[in-house]
């Protein structure tokens, strides 16, 4: 009996092991997986021809995947007649078509970077598989580059429409014929296209409503109607997405948080300049502003400190309002509402920085320090803010603490601070008080500020031999300079920290001071722009001479 029981247990263990191997499931334990998943097999193979219109597609991965990530990341163009269904396991994906595919047609299956493994790692780049139900694959393609920040390159889609004589505002209501994404460097290639004209647009649909909204990024090549070609004379299409400007701002709400303090929220992103440059009218009377600031962790709202208290129900208007793209707007009529309590309000950690840091000037020139918060507050002691030299941390630097408005203070040392030195600041929060009954912060806040050493700076000389003025933009880490480059004249950009920079330029044809990415119609062209073709490295105490900038679209 004992031998029988032992044999039975061994048999059950072997059976459990085999069943375990036969059924895929997520594994656990071991080191954290940071590698991008890979596709190791597909049927049909990429670039197959004469594929059976009743075929099924099978894709195999090298590791276990999140099944739900396939739904939004997989696309097939042209749209298969009757649509398709997805069948998935942990390491494979099957596409089953509801009706036979069209004959003599090239199909593209793309799986974008949203397809993720169990650790949340997406594919390294968009996977493209092409096959044809006829004898040949389409050989046309479009290539180009998206210019802008990393977020613009990673989050936007390229939309390609076969219909090329309709405004995008109308086209965007229907599905694009092809949707692609650029890689992390902004490069894109749309292969296996029929040789014909298309409409090409870039759109970062930030609220994912498939409409062109004021806070979306939109871009297009110089001419929206493009030709997919097979020859070697491919045009490299350049797209520089920009925020969509609106002629009128739709404000979502206004409320009074406390005496002489108003919060306003909009559907456009704001900057500090938005809050500081706005004009306020209450019941048709201009009201002076004592200050303004952004709402903490909310780029769509601002706080205004006004000169006189107002009553609930008062009508409010804003003019000279500037959104984050620099476009001037004005508000609709708003009605002031006062909340019942302030339970959710609290003073966040104050922001401390050199007062002119955002202007690309250098702190040692005047050494003023800006202290700002998200709510009105007061320092109950002149010694509440202290500045000390890192090398002499027991000695406080003497200076004046001055109130600018209810949310801004300024510390000005008695003498200019030294170049290239690190200073430590401290705020004793026992002497810091929020006027809106916010919770007290910790007893001590601290941080550091570093002045710039003049010997660490370099300069850049550039000349262009065109016939028109160029509006140039030089960008690097925490640095952005804009300047005008005149034809045939040399321009020097001085006081640049030693680091890498990128240079771009455009012709301001309409004279509005900002780049115009073109209208939404197929005939409305964008302003011409150029990108310097390599990274520019500036050295300390050295003038980097670019020589003549050979402009290339």
Closest CA relative to residue 124, chosen from 114, 113, 115, 116: 113
Same fold, 251-335 and 351-452: yes
Res. 25 pLDDT band, cuts 50 70 90:
very low
Closest CA relative to residue 145, chosen from 219, 198, 205, 233: 219
pLDDT-above-70 percentage for the chain: 84
Closest CA relative to residue 447, chosen from 354, 347, 363: 354
The residue length of the chain stands at 553
> Measured between alpha carbons, how far is 173 from 235 in angstroms, rounded to an integer?
28
Q: 10 Å Cβ neighbour count for 180? A: 22
> Which pLDDT score is estimated for 370?
92
| Distances, alpha carbon 412 to alpha carbons 4, 397, 399, 426, in Å | 90, 10, 5, 15
H/E run at residue 275: helix 272-277
Whether the pLDDT of residue 18 is over 70: the answer is no
> Which pLDDT score is estimated for 522?
61
> Which pLDDT score is estimated for 24?
45
* Cβ(71)–Cβ(97) below 8 Å: no
Mean of the per-residue pLDDT values for the chain?
Answer: 81
- Average pLDDT for 316-331: 76
Res. 16 pLDDT band, cuts 50 70 90:
very low
CATH of domain 39-243: 2.60.40.3710
Q: What class has domain 455-549? A: mainly beta
Place of tokens 């925490």: 478
CATH of domain 351-452: 2.60.40.1220
Whether the pLDDT of residue 60 is over 50: the answer is yes
Residue 131 or 278, more confident: 131
Ordered by start, the domain boundaries in the chain are 39-243, 251-335, 351-452, 455-549
Res. 314 pLDDT band, cuts 50 70 90:
confident
CATH of domain 251-335: 2.60.40.1220
> Which pLDDT score is estimated for 324?
72
Closest CA relative to residue 116, chosen from 104, 124, 108: 124
- Specify the DSSP class assigned to residue 239: E
pLDDT digits (tens, 9 = 90+) for 79-99: 898 889 988 888 888 999 999
- Average pLDDT for 359-363: 66
Whether the pLDDT of residue 342 is over 60: the answer is no
Closest CA relative to residue 220, chosen from 155, 168, 163, 151: 168
Whether the pLDDT of residue 21 is over 50: the answer is no
**Which residues are within 8 A (CB) of 2 and not within 5 positions of it... i.e. 6 or more apart?**
none
pLDDT digits (tens, 9 = 90+) for 427-467: 998 888 876 656 668 788 999 998 888 888 899 999 988 88
**Which residues are within 8 A (CB) of 32 and not within 5 positions of it... i.e. 6 or more apart?**
119
pLDDT digits (tens, 9 = 90+) for 220-255: 887 777 888 887 667 888 898 887 655 555 677 788
Conformational region of residue 443, where left means phi above 0, alpha means psi within -120 to 50, and beta covers everything else: alpha
> Measured between alpha carbons, how far is 388 from 424 in angstroms, rounded to an integer?
5
């Amino acid at each position: 009996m004992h031998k029988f029981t032992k044999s039975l247990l061994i048999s059950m263990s072997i059976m459990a092991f085999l069943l375990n191997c036969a059924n895929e499931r997520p594994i656990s334990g071991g080191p954290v997986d940071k590698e991008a998943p890979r596709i190791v097999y597909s049927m049909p193979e990429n670039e197959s021809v004469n594929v059976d219109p009743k075929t099924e597609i099978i894709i195999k991965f090298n590791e276990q995947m999140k099944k739900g990530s396939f739904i939004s990341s997989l696309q097939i163009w042209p749209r298969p007649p009757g649509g398709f269904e997805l069948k998935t396991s942990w390491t494979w994906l099957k596409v089953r078509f509801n009706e036979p595919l069209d004959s003599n047609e090239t199909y593209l299956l793309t799986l974008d970077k949203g397809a993720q493994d169990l650790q949340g790692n997406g594919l390294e780049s968009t996977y493209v598989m092409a096959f044809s139900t006829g004898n040949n694959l389409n050989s046309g393609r479009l290539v180009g580059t998206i210019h802008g920040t990393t977020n613009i390159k990673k989050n936007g889609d390229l939309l390609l429409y076969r219909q090329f004589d309709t405004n995008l505002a109308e086209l965007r209501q229907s599905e694009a014929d092809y949707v692609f994404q650029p890689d992390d460097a902004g490069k894109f290639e749309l292969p296996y296209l029929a040789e014909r004209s298309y409409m090409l647009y870039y759109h970062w649909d930030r609220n994912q409503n498939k409409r062109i909204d004021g806070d979306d990024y939109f871009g297009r090549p110089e001419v929206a109607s493009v030709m997919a070609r097979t020859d070697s004379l491919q045009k490299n299409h350049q797209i520089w997405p920009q925020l969509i400007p609106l002629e009128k701002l739709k404000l979502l709400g206004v409320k009074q948080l406390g005496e002489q303090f108003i919060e306003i929220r909009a559907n456009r992103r704001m900057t500090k300049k938005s809050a500081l440059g706005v004009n306020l009218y209450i019941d048709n009377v201009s009201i002076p502003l004592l200050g303004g600031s952004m709402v903490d962790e909310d780029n769509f709202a601002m706080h205004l400190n006004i000169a006189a208290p107002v009553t609930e129900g008062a009508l409010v208007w804003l003019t000279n309002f500037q959104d984050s793209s620099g476009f001037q707007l004005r508000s609709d009529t708003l009605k002031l509402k006062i909340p019942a309590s302030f339970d959710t309000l609290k003073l966040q950690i104050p922001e401390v920085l050199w007062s002119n840091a955002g202007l690309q000037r250098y702190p040692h020139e005047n050494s003023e320090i800006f202290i700002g918060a998200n709510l009105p507050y007061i320092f109950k002691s002149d010694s509440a803010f202290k500045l000390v030299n890192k090398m002499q941390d027991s000695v406080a630097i003497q200076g004046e603490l001055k109130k600018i408005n209810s949310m801004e203070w300024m510390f000005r040392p008695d003498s200019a601070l030294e170049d290239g030195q690190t200073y430590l600041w401290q705020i004793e929060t026992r002497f810091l008080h929020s006027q809106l009954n916010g919770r007290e912060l910790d007893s001590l806040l601290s941080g550091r500020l570093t002045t710039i050493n003049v010997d660490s700076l370099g300069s850049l000389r550039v000349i262009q031999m065109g016939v028109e003025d160029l509006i140039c933009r030089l960008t690097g880490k925490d640095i952005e300079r804009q300047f005008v480059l005149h034809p045939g004249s040399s321009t020097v950009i001085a006081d640049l920290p030693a680091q890498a920079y990128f240079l771009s330029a455009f012709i301001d044809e309409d004279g509005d001071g900002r780049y115009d990415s073109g209208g939404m119609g197929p005939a409305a062209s964008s302003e011409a722009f150029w990108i310097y073709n390599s990274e520019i490295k500036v050295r300390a105490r050295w003038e980097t001479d670019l020589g003549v900038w050979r402009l290339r679209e």
